């Protein structure tokens, strides 16, 4: 387990090496602002690092992370909507050209949906997980007469959830408009923690397929 002292030591190494590597890049980003073309929606899981997975440099990804990589549907009210605000900013202000929703294996959010939350302190978590229930219900119905392992059930739910989150993205007016105009593309990716393999959802085949060797 990493301790605070190790984080501080890590910062010192960053300042001495990595920052110097990207120093001109950072100066340019300060002077000219950020202009990322990709909105990357990922899980808060500490094992999933968007920049590490994609080998991206500073300024190349606009990243939103939350439990389960969920996308709440558009809701124009006076409540607080962190993920929704990030989506709106990325699409309407930064004008990204791609939105990637990236799920992963062994997702705690998906697994928790198959259990009962009894901790009264997890009121926000319990509410948030409702965003994955459509996927769970779909998989439960699809596998109702099939003999599958729990791990197979969870992986299918993790993948199907990505498609439901993509559907929720289209409830945002500017997302729907720019997708229809061919200016914005929504992509569903699935990351395997065990192997580092990445899959993408092929809309033509209706299946998740290996990223390497694809033209996605």
pLDDT tens figures, 123-160: 999 999 999 999 999 999 999 878 899 999 999 999 99
Query: Is position 102 annotated in a ligand binding site?
Result: no
pTM of the entire predicted model: 0.95
Which residue has 């996308």 as its token pair?
Answer: 71
DSSP-derived pairing of the beta strands 207-210 and 98-104: unpaired
DSSP-derived pairing of the beta strands 198-202 and 185-191: antiparallel
Task: Give per-residue pLDDT as tens, 12-36.
Answer: 999 999 999 999 999 999 999 999 9
Measuring CA to CA, how many Å separate 162 from each of 51, 125, 152?
A: 20, 19, 16
What is the CB neighbour count within 10 angstroms for residue 2? Answer: 9
Q: Which ranges in the chain belong to alpha helices (H)?
A: 4-13, 19-21, 23-32, 50-54, 82-88, 108-112, 123-128, 133-142, 150-169, 173-180
pLDDT at 216 > cutoff 70: no
Query: Is position 174 annotated in a ligand binding site?
Result: no
- At 7, list the tokens: 């984080």
- DSSP-assigned letter for residue 100: E
In the three-class reduction of DSSP (H, G, I as helix; E, B as strand; rest coil), residue 37 is classed as: coil
Query: Is position 104 annotated in a ligand binding site?
Result: yes
Which residue has 């062994």 as its token pair?
Answer: 106
Task: Give per-residue pLDDT as tens, 183-205.
Answer: 999 999 999 999 999 999 999 99
The answer to whether the beta carbons of residues 103 and 189 sit under 8 Å apart is: yes
Task: Give per-residue pLDDT as tens, 170-182.
Answer: 999 999 999 999 9
Residues 6+ apart with CB under 8 A from 106: 154, 193
Query: Is position 43 annotated in a ligand binding site?
Result: yes
Burial group, residue 154, by CB count within 10 angstroms (0-12, 13-18, 19+): buried
pLDDT value at position 38?
98
Supply the CATH classification number for the domain 34-210.
3.40.1050.10
């Amino acid at each position: 387990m990493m301790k605070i002292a190790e984080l501080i030591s890590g910062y010192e190494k960053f300042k001495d090496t990595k920052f110097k590597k990207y120093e001109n890049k950072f100066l340019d980003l300060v002077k000219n602002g950020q202009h990322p073309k990709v909105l990357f929606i990922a899980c808060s899981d500490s094992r999933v690092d968007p920049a590490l997975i994609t080998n991206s440099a500073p300024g190349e990804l606009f990243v939103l992370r939350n439990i389960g990589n969920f996308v709440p549907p558009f809701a124009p009210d006076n409540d607080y909507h962190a993920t929704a605000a990030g989506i709106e900013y990325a699409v309407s202000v930064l004008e990204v050209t791609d939105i990637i929703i990236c799920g992963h294996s062994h997702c705690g959010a998906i697994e928790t949906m198959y259990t009962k939350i009894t901790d009264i302190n997890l009121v926000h978590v319990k509410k948030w997980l409702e965003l994955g229930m459509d996927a769970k219900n779909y998989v439960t119905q699809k596998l109702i007469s099939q003999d599958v392992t729990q791990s197979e059930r969870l992986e299918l739910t993790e993948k199907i959830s990505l498609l439901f989150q993509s559907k929720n993205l289209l409830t945002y007016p500017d997302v729907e408009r720019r997708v229809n105009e061919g200016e914005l593309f929504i992509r569903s990716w699935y990351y395997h923690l065990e192997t580092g393999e990445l899959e993408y959802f092929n809309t033509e085949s209706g299946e998740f397929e290996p990223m390497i060797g694809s033209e996605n």
